[in-house]
């Protein structure tokens, strides 16, 4: 298993003024709120979460992630004894047309083994859950190059997508 720290990659995103500006687009005045679903922020789940966690929602730069995973056979052979399970975080703060761009998808865990993780999945998720717990409870000091200000970044895994 390989684990890539999320916080380090978030620091690099906020170090770029253009990327840092994009991280709060869901809460900008340019985001149209007309009853149509154009962004996850338009959905009921996002709005309910904001009502239940107003301290988190009050800072528009706090990040909501989707965690997705699915096993693949990289050699496309049915008889292969090899499985690879990438776990990818999608940043929901971004504009919809950028969320799935390679630059903004955070490969966080890569599991490579002869069989599927199945009941061991919680063991593989442990380092990510520890980092997410820290980001949820206390946050991490970040420098926002767009606003030219430091802040405490918090984050949550908002949605999980798996097979």
pLDDT confidence of residue 30: 56
In a domain, 148, yes or no: yes
**Residue 94 belongs to a domain:** yes
Higher pLDDT, 20 or 34: 20
From 12-21, 32-41, 118-127, 141-150, the region with the lowest mean pLDDT: 32-41
In a domain, 33, yes or no: no
Other beta carbons within 10 Å of 55: 8
- 92 contacts 64 by C-beta, under 8 angstroms: yes
39-53, 66-80, 98-112, 145-159 — which is least confidently predicted? 66-80
| Residue 102 buriedness (CB in 10 A; 0-12 / 13-18 / 19+) | exposed
Residue 6 falls within a domain, yes or no? yes
Residues β-bridged to residue 109: 3, 87
Q: Which residue has the tokens 């890539």?
A: 4
Distances (CA, A) of 44 to 47, 67, 145: 5, 19, 31
- Count how many domains the chain has: 1
Region 7-18: mean pLDDT is 95
Q: Domain for residue 34, yes or no?
A: no
- Statement: residue 46 has pLDDT above 60: yes
Per cent of the chain over pLDDT 90 is: 52
Question: From the CB of residue 26, how many other CB atoms can be counted at a distance below 10 Å?
Answer: 20
User: Does residue 11 fall inside a structural domain?
Assistant: yes
pLDDT value at 115 more than 90: no
Angle at 106 between CA 102 and CA 110, to 5 degrees: 110
Answer for the pair 59, 83: CB distance below 8 angstroms, yes or no.
no
24 vs 159 pLDDT, higher one: 159
Query: Which pLDDT score, from 0 to 100, does residue 47 have?
Result: 87
Q: What is the mean pLDDT of residues 12-27?
A: 88
Q: Is residue 134 assigned to a domain? A: yes
What's the domain range around 62?
A: 2-28+40-162
């Amino acid at each position: 298993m390989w684990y890539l720290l999320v916080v380090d990659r978030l620091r690099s995103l906020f170090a770029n003024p253009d990327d840092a500006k994009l991280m709060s687009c869901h809460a900008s005045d340019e985001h149209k709120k007309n009853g149509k679903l154009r962004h996850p922020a338009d959905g009921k789940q996002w709005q309910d979460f904001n009502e239940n966690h107003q301290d988190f929602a009050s800072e528009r730069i706090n990040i909501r992630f989707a965690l997705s995973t699915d096993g693949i056979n990289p050699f496309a052979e049915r008889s292969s004894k090899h499985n690879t399970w990438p776990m990818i975080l999608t940043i929901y703060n971004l504009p919809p047309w950028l969320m799935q761009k390679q630059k903004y998808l955070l490969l966080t865990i890569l599991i490579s083994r002869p069989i599927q993780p199945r009941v061991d999945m919680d063991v593989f998720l442990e380092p990510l859950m520890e980092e997410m717990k820290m980001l949820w409870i206390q946050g991490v000091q970040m420098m926002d190059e767009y606003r030219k200000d430091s802040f405490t970044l918090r984050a949550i895994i908002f949605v999980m997508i798996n097979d």
